[in-house]
Amino acid sequence: QCVIACPTASLTEKEAISDVWDVLSDPTKHVVAQTAPSIQVTLGEEFGMEIGSLVRGKLVTSLKRLGFDRVFATDVTADLTIMEEASELLDRINNTEKLPLLSSCCPGWVKFAEHFYPEFLPNLSSCKSPHEMCGALTKTWYAQKYEINPENIINVAIMPCTAKEYEAARPEMVSDGYRNVDFVLTTRELARMIRQAGIDFANLPDTKYDEPFDQFSGAGTIFGATGGLFEAALRTAHYFKTGEEMDIPDYSDTRSQSGLKYGEVQLDGKTLSIAIAHGTGNAKKALDSHKSGEKKIDYMEVMACPGGCVGGGGQPILGSKNHKKISLDYRHNRADSLFNVDKDMEIRQSHKNPGVKKIYDEFLGKPLSETSKKYLHTSYVERGKYPYLRTEE
């Protein structure tokens, strides 16, 4: 008997709410939440707020009221991902047969590549995604720094999609024997918990994220929208290569919602061909064109969901009774909100984030160091071509 299964694992939702309530009520556990960049502009929609409302402070307060011991911003480890991935890009530019570099922070895309484009697996960035980096550091650097037994630390990731659940369960996502991320809640699942607890979300005061994952740059925040990862990586790669900060223009082309965008950027006198794809069909088009020689790529950002994480499968579903206003362009509203956060930030480059500098000074050393490779990098496996046809006994 054959059954259909989603090739990117984005649709295999496993409810984690009751497990999370259990650990929150266990006094022996130190339970930390980490929130993906996009959640701060989507969670409010579950409580009748305008699409794309920035609710970062209320998000943190709600998690504290649910009983989390610490609340961390995954934006910090998005900055760390940029530090590592920009270094990897420069390494590959110096060694051009290792190009193109393909982004790897979207587990839906990674799984698609593992099934359908295994010939490109050596091109995938070896960086773990930001939530896995946060989980790895929580069970190692953070545990040592605050003298907490990693056995008692539970990392709960609030994420835009269920593909992150699949990623968290991958056997290689462990550090020193501890699973990096213990549970994943989608935006909608967190909203359900907030409602179960009777919290009046819209009227909550603001609270700041907890140290040491509280300082992030605008670059870490724009990860949540299509084109954001590319921009963030370029800012840091430019600095690493030239020692100078680049101007940050408003990249209206790369930020647009069209599914496949091509462009060129100059990096220290070299011209790089860039592609930005959202939706695996668009990634397929770009890879096929690259293979046929029609359209060469040196670097490609891929997000499996339309619009990137702001359009993730675990985000609020527009049109439900919880939404005040429905806009056909809602992903754009959410993305604009993230890009506006970046514009208003004092620090807009990952390499200028003092929180990230501290992690390198105290634990990792430098990007692509042995310690970084041990805790922040991973590898991929070829998985066979037909995941959607599974034979059952």
By C-alpha distance, which of 200, 77, 218, 193 is closest to 139?
77
Cβ of residue 259: shortest distance to ligand SF4, in angstroms? 13
Residue 88 annotated among the catalytic residues of the structure: yes
For residues 157 and 303, which CB has a smaller minimum distance to ligand SF4 in the complex?
303
For residues 93 and 376, which CB has a smaller minimum distance to ligand SF4 in the complex?
376
Cβ of residue 48: shortest distance to ligand SF4, in angstroms? 23
Residue 105 annotated among the catalytic residues of the structure: yes
Residue 85 annotated among the catalytic residues of the structure: yes
Q: Map the footprint of ligand SF4 across residues 93-112, applying CB under 6 A.
A: 106-108
Cβ of residue 110: shortest distance to ligand SF4, in angstroms? 9
212: which residues sit within 8 A by CB, 6+ positions away? 142, 145, 355, 358, 359
Of the candidates 45, 167, 189, 231, the residue annotated as catalytic is 167
- Both tokens of 216, joined, read 């992030």
3-state secondary structure (DSSP) of residue 263 = strand
Residue 309 annotated among the catalytic residues of the structure: yes
Cβ of residue 131: shortest distance to ligand SF4, in angstroms? 9
Of the candidates 104, 105, 161, 165, the residue annotated as catalytic is 105
113 interacts with ligand SF4 by CB under 6 A? no
57: which residues sit within 8 A by CB, 6+ positions away? 204, 205, 206, 207, 208
What are phi and psi for residue 305, nearest 5 degrees? -95, 150
Tell how strand 178-179 and strand 174-175 pair up: antiparallel
225 interacts with ligand SF4 by CB under 6 A? no
Residue number with the smallest Cβ distance to ligand SF4: 312
- Both tokens of 117, joined, read 């484009």
User: How many residues at the interface with ligand SF4, by CB under 6 A?
Assistant: 14
Q: Map the footprint of ligand SF4 across residues 154-193, applying CB under 6 A.
A: 160-161, 163-164
The dihedral of CA 263, 259, 291, 113: what is its sign? positive
Asked whether 320 and 309 are in contact (CB, 8 A), the reply is no
Residue 393 annotated among the catalytic residues of the structure: no
Q: Map the footprint of ligand SF4 across residues 32-51, applying CB under 6 A.
A: none
The dihedral of CA 278, 187, 235, 257: what is its sign? positive
Of the candidates 38, 62, 125, 217, the residue annotated as catalytic is 125
Residue 125 annotated among the catalytic residues of the structure: yes
By C-alpha distance, which of 70, 69, 75 is closest to 56?
75
Asked whether 124 and 283 are in contact (CB, 8 A), the reply is no
308 interacts with ligand SF4 by CB under 6 A? yes
In the complex, the residues that contact ligand SF4 under the rule CB under 6 A are: 10, 106-108, 160-161, 163-164, 303-305, 308-309, 312
